[in-house]
Structure 1
């Protein structure tokens, strides 16, 4: 699997995809299969940055993104997405042509975007953190 050096802002981080570097990481297949059946070529590790998804995600958490899941079937799942050049990890709620971008931190207001402004990178399926 690849780990990218892009930290997805849980509030939002500028993404410059031309300068994102990827490193290949190796994991035991049985460990990975306990998390997902998605092929490793469709998985990416990244880091979260910020506090807008607290208490679910903490600053510096490692997130595993399943890039094969780009269609939102679960409204309140956690997604890696770009709104313009801003990369973020958020919950999404779709109503007609409007996308509401939700934070778990109740001090962070919701944001609204149109479908054509949002690029879903993938669904966050695993979170790892240091104790």
Structure 2
């Protein structure tokens, strides 16, 4: 089955990966390694605690992130890192991240041109 088919079993995985924060979180864990909750939140800049928790749970459920707890420390030390599957998808996503960094200015220019055309059309 093709991912564009609504019944394709891979479609829900794709939708999870396409979430606003997922690729950024995978990139952060790939680049910075295992992190505490607060470190991860700081590295992402702008993510709410609720969204961070929700995204981490989704990635943990999908087998991409491993949550480990060290109860010997008070409060318990909770760390998040990539699983082997998570490292694999984070590496695949690196290409998209690199392209985005390289072409962001071009995309911003296209947006500005579009906005100017839309404003002109509304005026005329």
Whichever of the two has the greater Rg, that structure is 2
* Bigger share in helix: 2
Q: With structure 2 as the length reference, what TM-score do the two structures score? A: 0.24
Q: With structure 1 as the length reference, what TM-score do the two structures score? A: 0.23
* Bigger share in strand: 1
Bigger relative contact order, structure 1 or 2 (CA pairs below 8 A, ≥6 apart): 1
